[in-house]
Amino acid sequence: MNVVIFAAGALLMLVMGLRATKSRRALVTRGEKVQAQVAGTIQTREGISLALEFTTPAGNTRRLPYPMPRKAKGFSQGSQVTLYYDPDHPEKVYVEGDKAVLGAEAIYYVLAALLLLLGFVLMGM
């Protein structure tokens, strides 16, 4: 029974990792790429977020919230970042090089591998 639980956990982590990677890659390949300026911070339902301000290809100024990275190096007020967003769903945003996003993807894959390994170890016992 434990083997099934570890296998299910590994599968869940793998699916989560693949979803996160697919979502990020979709924004990078099909989303709008703009240079945005960190205009400060704003309070959102999720907590404090960065306010990223940019001009759309149509010439409109937009300001989107972006979750505050734990280590906000390179995200100080006034700094420039490369931003990918979905114009149809502006809540879908990715800042190029955000190590928190990339780290979360890596954690999903590492957990999937560890759970799978533990499942095999338990099968061998």
| pLDDT per residue as tens digits for the range 19-60 | 999 999 999 999 999 999 999 888 888 788 889 999 888 888
In this structure, the number of other CB atoms found within 10 A of the CB of residue 64 comes to 18
Residue 11 belongs to domain spanning:
2-124
In this structure, the number of other CB atoms found within 10 A of the CB of residue 84 comes to 21
Q: Domains in the chain: how many in total?
A: 1
Confidence (pLDDT) at 102 = 82
Contacts of 5 (CB under 8 A, 6+ apart): none
pTM: 0.76
Contacts of 50 (CB under 8 A, 6+ apart): 38, 40, 41, 42, 65, 66, 67, 68, 72, 75
Residue 114 banded pLDDT, cuts 50, 70, 90: very high
Confidence (pLDDT) at 90 = 80
The mean of the pLDDT values for the chain is 86
Per-residue three-class SS string for 57-122: CCCCEEEEEEECCCCCCCCCCCCEEEEEEECCEEEEEEECCCHHHHHHHHHHHHHHHHHHHHHHHH
Confidence (pLDDT) at 35 = 93
Closest by CA to 13, choosing from 110, 115, 108, 114, is 108
Confidence (pLDDT) at 70 = 66
Confidence (pLDDT) at 17 = 94
Name the more confident of 104 and 74. 104
